[in-house]
């Protein structure tokens, strides 16, 4: 689906915000949106080179695009991102809360900061962005919000109490927001990826990778573009009657 339109592109002229959009899944989302006619504002925390590369790629596709450096888990920055999108293009049609990270460790050894920082970025950050975008979407009486949860948020994972809690929290946030915002024509959904081919997966040993692939029905890790295609679908009019859902994209890991 990504980048392949027939006639009118799927989200032509829509304005999309993607947090954590400079690398990996985030970049794939930005490219999928740009390929289907959206104007894209993405955020990133620290890697200027990756952000510039992604920005050049989006503009090379003919898309209007901009990047903002900062922490989406900072409520002030989240507000400024939404304000910038309105300043540039007058609206916000799509919000993808992709920014997040993991800091794994056993429950009994986990430091306060390890728990707090992960929850703050993965859960609080999504809340701040949704709160910032909601007023404009409500005024428009339309909008799409997609939150990136995880298979860990659905089924838990040893050594990831902080990460799993943050991703499970996103599911509750998604359901509550869907009920609040639905009457204004705004859909709110979550997706729950399994292990995807990103920098994190590249750090796996051959033994770890083989063990994980053995637990996946399709016998392989997912691709960032496959996740982006699901998000693209949820951002289109085709998904207009889907809200409050958590959709797994894990190759059958959780079944």
Domain locations along the chain: 15-249
Do residues 231 and 146 make contact, with C-beta atoms less than 8 angstroms apart?
A: yes
DSSP 8-state class, residue 37 = T
Is residue 163 among the annotated active site residues?
Answer: yes
In angstroms, the CA 49 to CA 24 distance is: 14
Give me the helices (H) in the chain, please.
24-35, 48-60, 75-89, 112-119, 125-140, 151-155, 161-181, 199-202, 206-214, 224-235
**What residues does 43 pair with on adjacent strands?**
68
| Burial of residue 103, with CB atoms counted within 10 A of its CB: 0-12 exposed, 13-18 middle, 19 or more buried | middle
Taking only the tens of pLDDT, the chain with its 255 residues reads 554 444 689 999 999 999 999 999 999 999 999 999 999 999 999 999 999 999 999 999 999 999 999 998 999 999 999 999 999 999 999 999 999 988 999 999 999 999 999 999 999 999 999 999 999 999 999 999 999 999 999 999 999 999 999 999 999 999 999 999 999 999 999 999 999 998 777 778 888 889 889 999 999 999 999 999 999 999 999 999 999 999 999 999 988
Which one from 44, 128, 163, 241 is the annotated catalytic residue?
A: 163
Q: How many helices (H) and strands (E) does the chain have?
A: 10, 7
- Which CATH number is correct for 15-249, 3.10.129.10, 3.40.50.1460, 3.30.499.10, 3.40.50.720? 3.40.50.720
């Amino acid at each position: 689906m990504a980048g392949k339109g027939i006639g009118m592109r799927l989200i032509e002229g829509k304005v999309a915000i993607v947090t954590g959009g400079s690398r990996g899944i985030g970049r794939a989302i930005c490219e999928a949106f740009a390929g289907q006619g959206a104007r894209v504002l993405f955020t990133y925390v620290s890697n200027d080179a990756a952000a510039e590369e992604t920005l050049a790629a989006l503009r090379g596709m003919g898309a209007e695009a901009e990047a903002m450096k900062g922490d989406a888990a900072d409520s002030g920055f989240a507000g400024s991102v939404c304000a910038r999108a309105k300043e540039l293009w007058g609206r916000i049609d799509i919000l993808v809360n992709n920014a997040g990270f993991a800091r794994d460790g056993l429950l009994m050894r986990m430091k306060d900061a390890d728990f707090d920082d992960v929850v703050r970025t993965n859960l609080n950050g999504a809340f701040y962005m949704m709160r910032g975008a909601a007023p404009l979407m409500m005024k428009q009486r339309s909008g799409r919000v997609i939150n990136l949860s995880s298979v860990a948020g659905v089924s838990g994972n040893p050594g990831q109490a902080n990460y799993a809690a943050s991703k499970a929290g996103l599911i509750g946030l998604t359901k509550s927001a869907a009920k609040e915002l639905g009457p204004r024509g705004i859909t709110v959904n979550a997706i729950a990826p399994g292990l995807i081919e990103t920098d994190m997966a590249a750090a796996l040993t051959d033994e770890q990778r083989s063990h994980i692939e053995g637990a996946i029905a399709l016998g392989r890790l997912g691709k960032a573009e496959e996740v982006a295609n699901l998000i693209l679908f949820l951002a289109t009019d085709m998904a207009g009657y889907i809200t409050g859902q958590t959709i797994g994209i894990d190759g059958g890991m959780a079944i």
